[in-house]
Amino acid sequence: MKTEGKRQKKLTRSGGVQSHPVSAFCLQPSALSLGSNLGDRLENLTLARGKVAALPQTREVAFSSVYETEPVDAPEGSPNFFNAVMLIETSLSPLELLRATQAIENEFGRVRSVPNAPRTLDIDILFYGDVLMNTPELTLPHPRAHLRRFVMEPLAEVCKSLNLQIPKFPNP
Ligand code: ADP
Ligand code: MG
């Protein structure tokens, strides 16, 4: 699979893989991509991880290493991103999860200006179990995830650590 993205380096080792065996899942896992390229990037990801894990009806299943990546299609001079992928189990609906993660972005002072502008925190839903949807507010699986190395590398890492197959992303 060909992904966009230049050099990226692993900054931290994954410390978050939980001990629950896959057979213990009562819900299908969902995956979030977390990224930050403004402020204290590592702290932003760490605090965001805690806030996601604390959402109602939600628990963390795994958290990847943090990767430092060069921005893709971003305004000239944008700082490098710190990126990670988090697997969760949740019984929030897809839209409830989107709204909850957007509320967390807002808590970090996320300002939406031009596309791909530097941001304190971006949380994208990569997939939600095997749900397929395409609405103006939410597309699942995420339509560009499979093109982004900063998504696929940490996703492959967490899936491998849990013996899960990397989900197939439909081509756009
Ligand atoms: P991007 O993540 O593409 O850089 P934003 O974070 O500003 O840009 O998201 C733009 C919009 O994308 C959001 O307002 C949200 O409604 C929509 N969106 C559609 N599908 C998804 C998804 N799978 N995960 C997160 N946001 C999504
Ligand atoms: Mg986003």
% of the chain residues with pLDDT over 70: 86
Q: Give kind and range of the element (H or E) at residue 60.
A: strand 58-63
- Region 37-47: mean pLDDT is 96
Strands 139-140 and 133-134 turn out to be antiparallel
Give the model's confidence band at 26: pLDDT under 50 very low, under 70 low, under 90 confident, else very high: low
41 as an active site residue: the answer is no
Question: How far is CA 138 from each of CA 17, 70, 124, 135, rounded to the nearest angstrom?
Answer: 27, 26, 10, 5
pTM: 0.88
- Domains of the chain, start order: 8-161 (3.30.70.560)
Q: Given this model, what pLDDT does residue 24 score?
A: 45
117 lines ligand 1 (CB under 6 A): no
124 C-alpha to center of ligand 1: Å?
6
Which atom of ligand 1 is nearest to 137's Cα?
A: 16
Amino acid in the structure at residue 23: S
- Region 86-94: mean pLDDT is 96
How many Cα neighbours within 13 Å face the side chain of 67?
27
3 C-alpha to center of ligand 2: Å?
18
Nearest-angstrom CA–CA distance, 111 and 132: 28
User: Residue 13: which of 86, 65, 62 has the closest Cα?
Assistant: 65
pLDDT at 169 over 90: no
Q: Which two tokens stand for residue 73?
A: 């299609």
121-151: pLDDT as tens digits: 999 999 999 999 999 999 999 999 989 999 9
